[in-house]
Structure 1
Amino acid sequence: MVIHYKCPNCGSDMVFDSESGMLSCGSCGRKDNIDSFPKENIKTTFGKNDAKEYHCKNCGAMLITHKETTATNCSFCGAGVVLLDRLSGDLAPSKVIPFTINKDKAMKTFRTWCKNGLLTPKGFMTADRVKGITGMYVPFWLYDLNSKVEVNAICTKVRTYTKGEYIYTETSYYDVYRNINIDYIKVPIDASEKMDDKLMDKLEPFNYGELKDFNTPYLAGYIAEKYNYNHQELLPRAASKIERYIESFIGSTISGYTMVNYNRKDIDTNKKQAYYTLLPIWMVYYDYKGSEYIFAMNGQTGKVVGKPPISQGKVAAWFGGISVGIFIGLKLISLLMGGGLY
């Protein structure tokens, strides 16, 4: 089933407006609250082979999409459509963070980010070779996790003191036991096989105070994907993601010792709950000297991540400047200490 949101005033297609948080008509300017949008203006198309073939309600063109796509734009007339059957049952998202940054602001933010690249080539910093920018809702699982931790360690404290003519070293040994219960909420793991996991991780943090109950109008005018991996398949990655925080917390409870030797450290992490959530991301495709560079932008905060090209000349100049600064500094120290310049 294909869903179009039609303007009650003029009949044009409406899309989600990131600035107002409402459905917006580009033709007459009408804006509607998502929750109160008139149901009679939601146009749906059904077909015999709904799961395999979709047609645009506006122009009748066939919508060819990847099987993971849940929202897209018609390549012929540009209408934003939502593929509802791909958002039902187990595929129905629980939550969504709507876009708060529109396309124009995203481009402006990206250009500013490019100009701040201290070691990127001058040609790249102009940000004038953007091949495309796509607003996409990426599927994530948000995990509420509980970790039960048991730790046994032998800790030592070493004290050195002087008594008379002798220096004494006193070593005390302690048998330390910790039983820890830790809860983590909303640990995000992207569930799309198309997305680079490291890139998605670097887009954090999101403001989860702006989570909304999922509603299809949020997708109108954007691309959206459904998950490739369920919450059970990604649970090990979520547990691995919080390991360093658990290790840090354990260390904070065993402090003040000269040395800590762990005999046992058992960490048992379990899922309390997992929310299928769509998070807003702008994907930017940039062409520079025949190579394509892909960047991602948090569609809520504007944070940009990616690996830009590096100017070898700038790197050499930067390290050269540091070397000269160190040399001059050492010579000044030498002068102050009675040395001379050679």
Structure 2
Amino acid sequence: MVIHYKCANCGDDMAFDSETGMLACQSCGRQDHIDQISENLKTVVFSDDEAKEYHCENCGAALITEAETAATTCSFCGAGVVLQDRLSGVLAPAKVIPFKISKEEAMSAFKKWCKNGLLTPRGFMSADRVKGITGMYVPFWLYDVSGQAEVEAVATKVKRYTKGDYEYTETKYYEVYRDIDLSYVKVPIDASEKMDDNIMDKLEPFPYDQLKDFKTPYLAGYIAEKYNYDDQELFPRVQSKIKPFIDSYISSTISGYSSVTYRRKDIDTTKVRSDYVLLPVWMVYYDYDKTEHTFAMNGQTGKIVGKPPISYSKAAAWFGGIAGTSFITLKIVSLLMGGGLW
């Protein structure tokens, strides 16, 4: 079933307005509060995983979509449509963070970000090669995790001192034991096969205080994807993601020693709950030097991530100027240019 929002005043298409947070008509200015729009997404069960044909209720054109598409726009009349059967049953998101940044604001911010690039080629900084900018709701799982860490270690305290003509080193050994309860809330993992996991991770954090109960009008005028991986499949990524934080916390509880050698570090993490949510991302496709570069922007905070091309001459001059040494590996530069705020 195709959901298409029409203005009750003039009959024109309506779409979600990121500035007001309401469903808006660009023709007559009518605005409808999303909370007052009734819908029921729990009654239909989705089972078709192949490309499927829908028909636009606005112009009658056929919409051929991939299995992952949950919201799109008609290629013929431009109407924003939501595909209800791909947002129902077990595929119904629990929450959504609506877009706060409009398409015009996103484009302006991206151009500014390009021009601020210290090491990008001069032609790239003009930011006039944007092939497309797409507002997309990306599927994520948010996990609440509880865990326990049991640690055994040997720690030392080393004291050096001089007495008379002799230098002494005194080493004391300590048996260390820790039994730590851990908990993490709203750990985000993107669930789309198409999206680059590294880019999605760098877009964090999202403002989770802006989470809303999911309603389809939030998707009107944007593209949305349904998840490719369920919460069980992605839980190993959660464990890998929080492991550095757990290790850091364990280390913080064993301080004041000269050295610490771990004999045993058992970490057990358990999923307490997981929620399927849609998070707002602007995808920008930029053509430079016959190569397409992909950038992403957090649709709430404006944080931009991506790897722009590097000017070898600029990089060499910059590092030569601040270090006075030979040229430093461009890989480091690429990491430094991987993301920023506007």
* Aligned-partner Cα distance in 2 for 1:325–1:169: 40
- Displacement of 1:99 in angstroms is 0.1
SS in 1 for 2:319: helix
Q: Given the alignment of the two structures, is residue 256 of structure 1 paired with residue 248 of structure 2, yes or no?
A: no
Q: Report matched runs for 1:187-266 at 5 Å.
A: 187-266=187-266
Q: Sort the Cα spacing of 1:314 and 1:137 in 2 relative to 1 into closer, same or farther, 3 A.
A: same
Q: Equivalent residue of 2:232, what SS?
A: helix
Q: Match of 1:205, SS?
A: coil
Report the TM-score when normalising by structure 1.
Answer: 0.90
What is the distance in 2 between the residues matched to 1:215 and 1:270?
30
Letter in 2 for 1:26: Q
Write the letter of the residue equivalent to 2:111. Answer: R
Aligned mates of 1:319, 1:192 — CA distance in 2: 38
1:132-171 equivalence runs, <5 A = 132-171=132-171
Partner of residue 23, structure 1? 23
Residue matched to 1:42: none
| SS in structure 1 at match of 2:127 | coil
Gaps of 5+ in 1: 40-48, 327-342
What is the aligned partner in structure 2 of residue 307 from structure 1? 307
Kindly provide the amino acid, as one letter, of the partner of residue 61 in structure 1.
A
Within a 5 Å distance, the mapping from 1:1-342 to structure 2 comes to 1-37=1-37, 52-324=52-324
Instruction: Please identify runs of 4+ aligned residues in structure 1 that moved more than 4 A.
Output: 323-326
TM-score (norm 2): 0.90
Q: Deviations over 1:136-173 (max 9, x none)?
A: 00000011111210000011111123334433322111
- Determine the C-alpha separation between the residues in 1 that align with 2:247 and 2:49: 49
Q: CA deviation at 1:5?
A: 1.0
Q: Which of the two has higher C-alpha Rg? A: 1
Shift in Å, 1:313:
1.1
Whichever residue aligns with residue 256 of structure 2, its letter is: G
Q: CA deviation at 1:53?
A: 2.4
Q: Closer, same or farther in 2 for the Cα pair 1:65/1:80, shift >3 Å?
A: same
Structure 1 CA distance, aligned partners of 2:11 and 2:120? 47
Residue aligned with 2:133, SS: strand
CA distance in 1, matches of 2:37, 2:14: 11
Inter-partner Cα distance in structure 2 for 1:55 and 1:240: 43
Distance 1:325-1:150 versus aligned 2 partners, 3 A rule: closer
Q: Give distance in 2, aligned partners of 1:261 and 1:82.
A: 56
Going from structure 1 to structure 2, the CA distance change for 1:287 and 1:259 (only over 3 Å counts) comes to same
CA distance in 1, matches of 2:5, 2:153: 62
1:175-230 CA-to-partner distances (Å, cap 9, x unmatched) read 10000111000110000000000010000011101001111000000000000000
Structure 1 residues 290-329: Cα deviation after superposition (integer angstroms, max 9, x where no partner): 1100000000001010010000110121122224599xxx
CA contact (8 A) 2:49 2:67 kept: no
Alignment length (residue pairs)? 317
Preserved CA contact (<8 Å) 2:70 2:226: yes
How far apart, in 1, do the equivalents of 2:238 and 2:311 lie? 36
Percent of residue pairs identical: 71
Over 3 Å counting, the alpha-carbon distance change for 1:139 and 1:38 in structure 2 is closer
Unmatched segments (≥5 aa) in structure 2: 40-47, 327-342
Cα drift, residue 50 of structure 1:
12
Of 114-123 and 167-176, the range deviating more from structure 2: 167-176
> What is the alpha-carbon root mean square deviation over aligned residues?
1.7
Partner amino acid for 1:311?
S
The CA deviation at 1:84 is 0.4
What is the CA–CA distance in structure 1 between the aligned matches of 2:70 and 2:85, rounded to whole Å?
Answer: 8
Deviation of 1:54 (Å): 0.8
Distance in 2, Cα, partners of 1:289 & 1:219: 34
